[in-house]
Amino acid sequence: MYLTDEEKSMLNGDHGEIKQRCMQFLVDYGEVAGAEHLIDLDGNVDLHPPYGNWLGDYDVSYEEVVELAEIGEKFKVPTFANKAVNPGMIVDGWEKIDLEPFTNPEFRMKQEEMMKPYMKMGMVPILSCNYYLVSSYTPTVGQHCAWVESSAIPWGNAVLGARTNFDGCFQTAYLGKVPAYDMHLDENRKATVLVEYMDELKTDMDYDLFGWAVGEMVGLEVPALIGVGKPTTSQLVKMNTSLNTGGQVRMYHVPGLTPEAPTLEAAFSGNYQRKIQLGRDDLRKIYDKMNYASNDQVDFVYLGCPHYNIEEILKVARLVDGKKLKATMWITTNPSSYKVAKDMGLIEIIEKAGGNVLSGTCPGILGKLPPSTVMATDAAKQNYYINGIYQDLHVWYGTTEDCVESAIKGVWQGEWK
């Protein structure tokens, strides 16, 4: 891989041992990825704080970050925090639940302390998987970024037209560089497969299932999607998330909607290879796969993967207003939307019904839940990870309304509509 003189001197250790390790990581990773050189980022970075157990021997320890922050080192580009991991962190709403160690005040203080050096270096504590909806600072078309949240990658590439692989981390934020391969290069961003939806995508769940079905079918191809109507922001978030959970779609086009596809021809630019047609039956198959519970006695309902936006919180608050829930219900969101929901009185309505709104985390990240045996969720992504992480938990999947209904009744009555 070609390196500039400055990059070579970093690799030689002329800029200190930490920068040397970060550069060594970029070189080793770039070689494996088949990159010919590095790119200087001009967009932004998303990373999981407080960092650890991510890149093995290349990791920069918390103590080292403290040291860097103290001598005034800063991240090279605007850097935003995804959810805290290893351990997870409940930012708001934790006082209302009992879930050790996350609700232990001492443990929490330590977690807040861990964030400080990163913030001192410039990390903005959005603490969410959908930071791209609330950070108030997003990249523009063509800017090179290093993002890490899997559900956000297609959003960055397709919806915003920015350029990112999955490499948002301390190293890429600190050096402001990434290997130049895959999504950073024009030729890999063109559509190769046309995906036509033959029926009408109506509900949020339809978009969730459609994204999953496409993800399963196209592998690493870049699809151009037609027949997808005019998705709301919530629906688009769901579709992006499933595209990269059911499969590994990191880029797609919707002619007339996404910036690199003013037309179908522009999306393909001569790279058309094949066409796939999908209909409601294909969505049904995924729906059935998601529903692997046999017991209908729901005791835990989880909503908010990716983190609910304010419209989604409002929707649930209206559904539970004045009701009493039989099952435990969690809604997860980002700290920014939590505050808005609180100001609107939505948190109070949900809590009065017996539900909890938590910010900054999710069951998958926490790896721990209130005692429960049968869960209901409206997110294909969470459903998928739950099946691996909580093997004993049985999961129902359906619309938000079906899930809320099951929280009220304590019984699953959702069905394919």
Partner 1 sequence: MGKIILHGRKVVGGCVEGEALVTTETISGWGGIDPKEGTIIDLRHELAGEKFAGKVLVYQGAKGSSGWSGQFHEARLNNVAPLAMVFNETTTKIALGAVVTRVPAVTDLDQDPTKVIATGDWVKVDGDNGIVEVTKK
The binding site for partner 1 (CB under 8 A) comprises 25, 28-29, 32-34, 53-58, 85, 148-150, 153, 165-168, 182, 219-220, 244-245, 247-248, 250, 289, 292, 364, 384-389, 391
CB 328 within 8 A of CB 358: no
25 or 118, CB closer to partner 1?
A: 25
57 or 98, CB closer to partner 1?
A: 57
Q: Which of 205, 198, 203, 207 is nearest to 227 (CA)?
A: 198
219 or 345, CB closer to partner 1?
A: 219
Residues in the chain: 417
Report in angstroms how near the CB of residue 153 gets to partner 1 at its nearest: 8
Report in angstroms how near the CB of residue 33 gets to partner 1 at its nearest: 4
Report in angstroms how near the CB of residue 410 gets to partner 1 at its nearest: 25
Q: How far apart are CA 409 and CA 374, in angstroms?
A: 13
27 or 224, CB closer to partner 1?
A: 27
Q: How far apart are CA 344 and CA 322, in angstroms?
A: 16
Residue position matching structure tokens 């603490």: 127
Report in angstroms how near the CB of residue 166 gets to partner 1 at its nearest: 4
Report in angstroms how near the CB of residue 79 gets to partner 1 at its nearest: 16
Report in angstroms how near the CB of residue 323 gets to partner 1 at its nearest: 32
176 or 255, CB closer to partner 1?
A: 176
73 or 167, CB closer to partner 1?
A: 167
Report in angstroms how near the CB of residue 31 gets to partner 1 at its nearest: 8
- Which residues are within 8 A (CB) of 408 and not within 5 positions of it... i.e. 6 or more apart? 320, 323, 324, 325, 326
Q: Which of 150, 102, 156 is nearest to 129 (CA)?
A: 150
33 or 314, CB closer to partner 1?
A: 33
Report in angstroms how near the CB of residue 381 gets to partner 1 at its nearest: 9
191 or 386, CB closer to partner 1?
A: 386
Report in angstroms how near the CB of residue 295 gets to partner 1 at its nearest: 16
Residue position matching structure tokens 């301390």: 170
395 or 404, CB closer to partner 1?
A: 395
Report in angstroms how near the CB of residue 154 gets to partner 1 at its nearest: 13
77 or 218, CB closer to partner 1?
A: 218
